[in-house]
Amino acid sequence: MSDGKTVATEKSFYEEGTTKSPKGIKSWIFSTDHKRIGILYLCSIATFFVVGAILGILMRLELIAPGRTIMDAQTYNQTFTLHGVIMIFLFIVPGLPAIFGNFFLPIHIGAKDVAFPRLNLLSWWIYITGAFLALLAITMPGGPVDTGWTFYIPYSVRSTTNVSWAIFAAFVLGFSSILTGINFITTVHRMRAPGMTYFKMPLFVWSTYATAWIQVIATPIIAITILLLIIERFFGVGIFDPALGGDPILYQHLFWIYSHPAVYIMILPAMGVVSEIIPTFSRRTIFGYKAIAYSSLAIAFVGYLVWAHHMFTSGISDTARIIFSLLTFIVALPSGVKIFNWVATMYKGSIDPKPPFLWVMAFIFLFSIGGLTGLVLGSLATDIHLHDTYFVVAHFHYVMFGGTGTIFIAALFYWWPKMFGRMYNIKLANYTVVLYFIAFNTLYFPKFIMGYMGMPRRYYDYLSEFTTLQFISTIGSWLMAVAIFLIIWNLVRSLKTGRIAHANPWGGVTLEWQIASPPPLENFHEVPVITHEPYDFSQLKEMDYESK
């Protein structure tokens, strides 16, 4: 199956669809094939990423010098809110699970599709509806939201901008997220191929499974919070309004009960991708398979109980603050377990530093900085000083962009030849990693220093002593723009001019590397029977793999 000769003879899922007409846009937007849906998500999510990135670059440009540069203060508020809303709800929450989870989770467990293919298509449609509503919130009279992506009460009730539309968009997107979560949990329980026991599943499946549980458990809370906020805006019920006896802090609790677990929705699938890439390019089985699998579940569980560390300065009791601080430290443990296991996997491995592996190296460095500064923020004493400063912004971008964002790119470079059957320019990709790494640190590291010096987040203007560091950070944003452009250009160009990819270009042994690139419609000609551990590289001989 894997020798690459079959590529030319069999039909890929691009040539054979689930709809009546095999070609044209309808064969995509009405397809129930998990691979096509994954690519639909890829196109839509990548578009929103670019929009969010452009907004970020505009913000950085505004901050290049003190005072007004290119936009007024209100526009700046709206820009950072949109940047946050787009990046969080439209890019990073659905990003990895919806694209790569959809495409590879069924293949990884030896299934032909997810458990509910039509529900899967519906989830994409709901996602697009949510995105459309977000677009309406921008263009409708009233103007884009200016509350920040956290929509804190009371300002979100009083703001005259289109808060209701924007949060309703988030509600709809949450619904899409829940349905995807339900689909993946059921798929993992019901669709595994014969012999695919829970502990033979690739770790990407484990982490996507843990993510799916968080999606199911946490998302309804943001849904009800958003509904209450909308009702508050339209009817003035008073649930969050202190003038009527309500409690704005309660809103913060409800918001973070979702939004903290949500950061694990963002990072866990990324950790799964890392656990796929490192063994493949080290030619060595993963170190501590069960520890990594269980640590995903531990993160999902403990991550649910740390939300109030976002509220250390909001006015909650000392007892609550100490407990939440302690739990925050505990949640760092399973993340540490993963980092050590990944590094241990590389030890004495036969390392092949191809681009996906290099992205993962960048990830480990950036994510470690992000994780450790998270502990600085989780400590009560230091958090009082650093709360709502650039330090938080830097920490968040190191874990989310440096963590999930970097792995999003790594996953693209790892699975691109499988998804599209074409190989990109490897040399250019290598240079891009270096540029990206430099750009990233130039862009975000100065923010740690500025935050420590006292620069508050979300401010339109700043004191002159921050000028140099703000300037350096803006230069970083331009370098980052170049890096992102090179990534997109390299990948898109490969679709036309890239050489045809081998079925197994990296020497991976999980199931996706044992089928053609791109895969056929039903993934496997016959139901695979699993006998090996997921990262057993002795299989490479059986698979006739020759390293090139």
Partner 1 sequence: MSQNEHTLNDSHGHVHRDDVGARMGMWLFLFTELLLFGGMFLVYAVYRFQYPDQFHLAATELNTGIGALNTIILLTSSLTVVLSITALQKKNKLLSVLLLVITILLALFFMANKYVEWSTKIAHGIYPGSEVLLAKQNGEILFFGLYYVMTGLHALHIIIGVIILAFMVVFILKDVITHDNYVKLENGGLYWHLVDLIWIFLFPLFYLIQ
**How many positions of this chain bind partner 1 (CB under 8 A)?**
45
Task: Please state, in angstroms and rounded to a whole number, the distance separating the CA atoms of residues 240 and 250.
Answer: 7
Binding of partner 1 by 509 (CB under 8 A): no
Which parts of 343-382 interact with partner 1 (CB under 8 A)?
none
Which one of the spans 67-75, 107-115, 271-279, 444-452 is the region binding partner 1 (CB under 8 A)? Answer: 107-115
Amino acid at 363: F
Binding of partner 1 by 244 (CB under 8 A): yes
Q: What is the closest distance, in whole angstroms, from the C-beta atom of residue 252 to partner 1 in the complex?
A: 13
Exactly one of 43, 73, 195, 247 binds partner 1 (CB under 8 A); which one?
A: 247
Binding of partner 1 by 178 (CB under 8 A): yes
Binding of partner 1 by 523 (CB under 8 A): no
Exactly one of 29, 191, 193, 479 binds partner 1 (CB under 8 A); which one?
A: 191
Tell me the CB-side half-sphere exposure of residue 421, using CA atoms within 13 A. Answer: 18
Residue 499: what are its φ and ψ, rounded to 5°? -75, 155
The dihedral formed by the CA atoms of 290, 282, 369 and 267, expressed in degrees to the nearest 10 = -50
Exactly one of 138, 228, 266, 273 binds partner 1 (CB under 8 A); which one?
A: 228
**Which residue carries 């560390």 as its tokens?**
309
Binding of partner 1 by 156 (CB under 8 A): no
Is the peptide bond preceding residue 154 cis, with omega within 30 degrees of 0?
A: yes
Binding of partner 1 by 229 (CB under 8 A): no
Number of neighbours of residue 413 by Cβ within 10 angstroms: 24
Task: Please state, in angstroms and rounded to a whole number, the distance separating the CA atoms of residues 134 and 114.
Answer: 28
For partner 1, the closer CB: 64 or 216? 216
Q: Which of 355, 373, 436, 358 is nearest to 402 (CA)?
A: 436
Binding of partner 1 by 238 (CB under 8 A): yes
Is the peptide bond preceding residue 518 cis, with omega within 30 degrees of 0?
A: yes
For partner 1, the closer CB: 117 or 202? 117
Binding of partner 1 by 45 (CB under 8 A): no
Q: Fill in the per-residue mask, 110 to 149: x = in contact with partner 1 (CB under 8 A), - = not in contact.
A: --xx-xxxxx------------------------------
Q: What is the closest distance, in whole angstroms, from the C-beta atom of residue 235 to partner 1 in the complex?
A: 4
For partner 1, the closer CB: 239 or 423? 239
Task: Please state, in angstroms and rounded to a whole number, the distance separating the CA atoms of residues 329 and 312.
Answer: 14
Kindly list the distances between the CA atom of residue 324 and the CA atoms of 215, 265, 312, 319, 388, in Å, as whole numbers in the listed order: 22, 20, 9, 9, 18
Binding of partner 1 by 164 (CB under 8 A): no
Binding of partner 1 by 221 (CB under 8 A): yes
CB distance 455 to 66 below 8 Å: no
Q: Which of 82, 78, 77, 60 is nearest to 69 (CA)?
A: 60
Q: What is the closest distance, in whole angstroms, from the C-beta atom of residue 106 to partner 1 in the complex?
A: 12
Binding of partner 1 by 515 (CB under 8 A): no
Number of neighbours of residue 220 by Cβ within 10 angstroms: 14
Binding of partner 1 by 190 (CB under 8 A): yes
Binding of partner 1 by 305 (CB under 8 A): no
Task: Please state, in angstroms and rounded to a whole number, the distance separating the CA atoms of residues 187 and 277.
Answer: 23
Q: Give the angle subtended at the CA of 26 by the CAs of 25 and 29, to the nearest 5°.
A: 85
End-to-end alpha carbon distance in the chain: 19
Q: Fill in the per-residue mask, 392 to 431: x = in contact with partner 1 (CB under 8 A), - = not in contact.
A: ----------------------------------------
For partner 1, the closer CB: 181 or 508? 181
Q: What is the closest distance, in whole angstroms, from the C-beta atom of residue 3 to partner 1 in the complex?
A: 26
Q: Fill in the per-residue mask, 253 to 282: x = in contact with partner 1 (CB under 8 A), - = not in contact.
A: -x--x-------------------------
Q: What is the closest distance, in whole angstroms, from the C-beta atom of residue 254 to partner 1 in the complex?
A: 6
Q: Give the angle subtended at the CA of 463 by the CAs of 460 and 464, to the nearest 5°.
A: 120
Binding of partner 1 by 245 (CB under 8 A): yes
Q: Give the angle subtended at the CA of 363 by the CAs of 361 and 368, to the nearest 5°.
A: 105
The site for partner 1 (CB under 8 A) is made up of: 18, 32-33, 112-113, 115-119, 178, 181-183, 185-186, 189-191, 216-217, 219-221, 223-225, 227-228, 231, 235-239, 244-247, 250, 254, 257, 521-522, 527
